[in-house]
Amino acid sequence: MDYDWDNRVDTTSATVSWPDRLRGVFNSPYQPTEPGLFHEMIRSLPIEFSEFTFIDLGSGKGRALLMAADYPFRRIVGIELLPRLHRVAQENIREYRSEAQQCFAVESVCGDAVDFAFPPEPAVLYLFNPLPENGLERVIANVELSLEKNPRPVYVVYHNPLLEALLVRSATLKKVGGTDQYSVYASLESGGHKIPAV
């Protein structure tokens, strides 16, 4: 609520409609990322932001997209399954006004994260538990295939990593940092630098 009030946007879960809440039970309920933790996660990354695309799989009303816009990312993309949440995200992107904003190439796409074709550029992939086990397995396989075709630095920031076991067994993505609230994995091309715990 504080985030929405301060930034004149609508990213709270409190106003999600009942049909979308119900769909959330079968997919993954909408819950926006808490700002303090988001900035801790993003600031921990040892990257030149301007070289990286920020991708939020399961972007909901777009709060993580707006918070990422406060960093000079090359561009920012969110993929959201539920059309109503996607439309609110589009409106939020249009309305967002912040002196902190540094990236203006921000978009929300309505679609299934499992089918998302990763762009062949360095990326920060943000996951806040958007998918069940079989969906996340397919997303990891897509990332690995994309890295095989176009080797490049890719970081996966996994917030509340309930299904981390699926990433642990990846041969392409290795854990480089995190806390009990999130984990950071990186492709081999990222240089393997360990991120000191905050």
Ligand X SMILES: C[S@@+](CC[C@H](N)C(=O)[O-])C[C@H]1O[C@@H](n2cnc3c(N)ncnc32)[C@H](O)[C@@H]1O
- Residue 167's contacts (CB-CB under 8 Å, 6 or more residues apart) are 140, 156, 158, 161, 173, 175, 183, 185
Question: Shortest gap between Cβ of 149 and ligand X (angstroms)?
Answer: 22
Q: Is 70 in the site for ligand X (CB under 6 A)?
A: no
Q: Does 146 bind ligand X (CB under 6 A)?
A: no
d(CA 164, CA 133): 10
Measured distance CA(106)–CA(79) in Å, rounded: 12
Give min distance, CB of 169 to ligand X, in A.
Answer: 21
Question: Pattern of binders to ligand X over 72-91, x per CB under 6 A?
Answer: -------xxxx--x------
Closest to ligand X by CB, 130 vs 153, is 130
Task: Report the distance separating Cα 142 and Cα 148, nearest Å.
Answer: 10
Stretch that binds ligand X, among 40-48, 68-76, 93-101, 129-137 (CB under 6 A): 129-137
Residues 87-126 that bind ligand X (CB under 6 A): 112-114
CA dihedral (83, 23, 77, 112) positive or negative:
negative
**By CB under 6 A, is residue 135 in contact with ligand X?**
yes
Length of the chain: 198
Give contact residues for ligand X (rule: CB under 6 A).
24, 27-28, 30-33, 56, 58-60, 63-64, 79-82, 85, 112-114, 128-131, 135
